[in-house]
């Protein structure tokens, strides 16, 4: 079973299209999405429509819940709240209904999936050793998948010892020993200094995870952000991957 794991697309249509094109070169058996289809970016409806069609499993993220009016926007940073309000107005009913039917957690083919973390599937960033250890203690599957932080990560616990960390493009995790917490990074708003769109190729039989990156036309998404008068900082950060 080979799975493409994508996350945090954030209404960045060009990034999503580039990732799906790269995935299609050697099509996986499944495609899973860990949530945050919308928010920040300029093409929420197109992204939701493609995800509906192309993924076998999809979680809901905090930005999707914000777009549905289910999260208090006071909990959001200013740019995030602004784009959440814009997204609320832009989403058509069919796409809103799709997002409303999703959960922030799932289990599939022996893996456990969370948008954010097992302790708090909507909000918690697994970016500290304590949070990573807690996430692996609260789960039992060999592979645990999280998104939300927009950082590609491969963290393992082996005989009680925690190891690993950031997983740059092209790196591979050998999952044969220990239990693993993997974050594919973000398709549409990477924050690890590499502006390329990120995802994981996960082979559950061979027990390996390959961290992939692909260039996409950042300037097209930036132009769309500006056309829609979304905050300039949201366009600018895409070029730097922060
Ligand atoms: Zn996100």
Domain ranges of the chain: 2-240
Compute, in angstroms, the gap from residue 80 CA to the centroid of ligand 1: 10
pLDDT over threshold 90, residue 75: no
Tell me the pLDDT tens digit for each residue of 16-29. Answer: 999 999 999 999 99
CA of 4 to the centre of ligand 1 (A): 18
| Tens digit of each residue's pLDDT (9 = 90 or more) over 180-218 | 999 999 999 999 999 999 999 999 999 999 999 999 999
- Ligand 1 centroid to 142 CA: how many Å? 24
One of 3.40.50.970, 3.60.21.10, 1.20.1250.20, 3.10.20.30 is the CATH number of 2-240, namely 3.60.21.10
Q: pLDDT category, 233, cuts 50, 70, 90?
A: very high
- Give tens-digit pLDDT for 137-190: 999 999 999 999 999 999 999 998 999 999 999 999 999 999 999 999 999 999
Distance 12 CA to ligand 1 centre (A): 12
Say how many Å lie between the CA of residue 156 and the centre of ligand 1. Answer: 23
pTM value surpassing 0.85: yes
Percent of the chain past pLDDT 90, that is, above it, reads 98
Strand order in the sheet with 143-146: 105-108, 111-114, 143-146, 179-184, 152-158, 161-166
Is 90 exceeded by the pLDDT of residue 136? yes
- For ligand 1, the distance from its centroid to the CA atom of residue 36, given in whole angstroms, is 5
Q: What's the 147 CA to ligand 1 centre distance in angstroms?
A: 7
- Give residues with Cβ within 8 angstroms of 179, minimum separation 6: 136, 139, 141, 142, 143, 144, 156, 157, 158
164: which 2 tokens? 């690993």
With the C-alpha atoms ordered 7, 9, 14, 15, is the resulting torsion angle positive or negative? negative
Q: How far is the CA of 159 from the centre of ligand 1 (A)?
A: 32
Taking residues 120-138, report their average pLDDT.
Answer: 96
- CA–centroid distance, residue 29 to ligand 1 (Å): 25
How far, in Å, CA of 237 to CA of 222, rounded? 9
Tell me what the pLDDT averaged over the chain comes to.
Answer: 97
pLDDT at 161: 94
């Amino acid at each position: 079973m080979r799975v493409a794991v994508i996350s945090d697309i954030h209404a960045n249509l060009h990034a999503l299209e580039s990732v799906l094109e790269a995935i299609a070169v050697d099509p996986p058996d499944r495609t899973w999405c860990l949530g945050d289809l919308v928010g920040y970016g300029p093409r929420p409806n197109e992204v939701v429509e493609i995800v509906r069609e192309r993924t076998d499993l999809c979680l809901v993220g905090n930005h999707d819940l914000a777009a549905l009016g289910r999260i208090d926007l006071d909990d959001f940073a200013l740019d995030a709240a602004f784009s959440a309000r814009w997204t609320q107005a832009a989403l058509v009913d069919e796409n809103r209904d799709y997002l409303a039917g999703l959960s922030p957690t799932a289990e599939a083919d022996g893996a456990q999936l969370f948008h954010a973390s097992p302790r708090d599937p909507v909000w918690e960033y697994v970016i500290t050793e304590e949070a990573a250890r807690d996430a692996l203690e609260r789960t039992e599957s060999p592979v645990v998948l999280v998104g939300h932080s927009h950082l590609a990560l491969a963290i393992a616990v082996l005989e009680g010892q925690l190891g690993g960390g950031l997983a740059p493009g092209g790196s591979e995790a050998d999952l044969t020993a220990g239990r693993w917490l993997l974050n594919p990074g973000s398709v549409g708003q990477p924050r690890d200094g590499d502006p390329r769109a990120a995802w994981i190729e996960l082979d559950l039989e061979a027990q390996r995870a390959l961290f992939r990156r692909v260039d996409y036309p950042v300037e097209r998404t930036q132009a769309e952000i500006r056309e829609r008068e979304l905050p300039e900082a949201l366009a600018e950060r895409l070029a730097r991957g922060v």
